Amino acid sequence: MWLLLLLTCLLLIAYAHVGYPVLMGLLARVKSSPVSADGSLPSGISVVMSVYNAESRIQDRLRNLLACRWPGELEIVVFCDGCTDATAEKVAALGDPRLRVMSHRQQRGKATALNEAVPSCRYPLVVLCDARQDFHPEALVELVTPFSDPAVGAVSGLLEIAASASGSGQGVDLYWKIEKKLREWEGRFDSVIGCTGAIYAIRQALFQPLHPATILDDVVVPMRIAVAGHRVLYSATAIAYDPQTLDPALEKKRKLRTLAGNYQMIEQFPGWLLPWRNRTWWQLISHKYLRLAVPWLLLAVLALSVLTPPTPFTLLLLAGQVLAYGAAALGLLFPQVKVKALSIPAGFLLLQVACLRALGAYLQARRDALSLWQAAPVKGS
């Protein structure tokens, strides 16, 4: 029985990190769903950005958006969520009629900002973005083009983050590369499980008000659209550039927020786990929810490797774990060493620690909805 439990844990871990990506890659190749987009563009689009104390960055960000190629009408809504600085004044100082400021005196969170801003938009297609990143000049056109297919309800863009300078960050780099490829395959097969919050677009008519404490608006909004029967696509040519490198500490914090949000979705949307209510149920479980279990499965594998009667297989497995965790520890202790044999285990271990902490972070977020959204400083601003 011990051996059966051990093998089950190993198979689940292997499926979460290898099996599901391989399966999705095969499905994207042999059973892809074509998009019937004719390349036409709408007459106008709205862009919504929720910000908090972004006066040092907001003008450059808006200039970047206004410089993007867009042949039609454009509206940019900047929602100042409890800003105590001069963000609103900086927006007004640009003097561009395409800019509009909405605000609330108290910080209430991004979900509430979207609830107010999205329904107020003038155009039926809404691009959602953040203040920190910059768009590629063609990002708006590339993001919106697939909507000429009426089956498309949302489109996620690509977030480019500079490679980490530390050795341990190389493991995080690898994770992010796999994640981007997985989203591409999901979109080709059916729908992406979640979008990139820094750059995605939706049909305004499909937006449903979010719970004020929503952690992952960029997953909940597109998932609701997919559950309603529409497709959520991924456009690797609609690019947003992040000024920060893929720093392990920052990625661990982002991952902690993402995983805490996954716990929240399980609680708030249990029906998404049912095949007759959500056609992407197994993608959601495989891509999002199973990852919550991986660190606990790893601990179970370690315990079972010790408890199971010794065999050549269990002894080899135990030795492999000792080597892997030892390499991860060395990679974390010496981040300046850029050797994949150390950096990849170190990056993987960082993400698993974040996953272990996610449940506690979610419980804290239930008491303080803004606790996971403390803004990180932007380098160079």
Which tokens is 196 given?
């990139």
- Full-prediction pTM beyond 0.75? yes
DSSP string, 287-301: IIIHHHHHHHHHHHH
Q: What CA–CA distance (Å, rounded) separates 331 from 290? A: 26
Which tokens is 206 given?
């499909």
Can you say whether residue 230 is alpha, beta or left, with left for phi > 0 and alpha for psi between -120 and 50 degrees? beta
From the number of C-beta atoms within 10 Å of its C-beta (0-12, 13-18, 19+), residue 144 rates as: buried
Contacts of 89 (CB under 8 A, 6+ apart): 55
The single residue listed with the structure tokens 């395409």 is 98
DSSP string, 159-206: EEEEPPSSTTHHHHHHHHHHHHHHHHHHHHHS--SS--TTEEEEEGGG
* Ordered per-residue pLDDT tens for the chain, 381 residues: 788 999 999 999 999 999 999 999 999 999 999 898 888 899 999 999 999 999 999 999 999 999 999 999 999 999 999 999 999 999 999 999 999 999 998 999 899 999 999 999 999 999 999 999 999 999 999 999 999 999 999 999 999 887 665 555 566 677 778 889 999 999 999 999 999 999 999 999 999 999 998 999 999 999 999 999 999 999 999 999 988 765 556 666 777 888 889 999 999 999 999 999 999 999 999 999 999 999 999 999 999 998 888 889 989 999 999 999 999 999 888 877 778 888 888 888 888 888 888 888 888 877 775 666 554 443 433
Contacts of 378 (CB under 8 A, 6+ apart): 56, 57, 132, 243, 244
Which tokens is 192 given?
């992406």
Which tokens is 244 given?
């920060």
Set out the domains of the chain in order of their start, with CATH numbers.
1-28+45-381 (3.90.550.10)
Contacts of 368 (CB under 8 A, 6+ apart): none
From the number of C-beta atoms within 10 Å of its C-beta (0-12, 13-18, 19+), residue 135 rates as: buried
Q: What CA–CA distance (Å, rounded) separates 76 from 69? A: 14
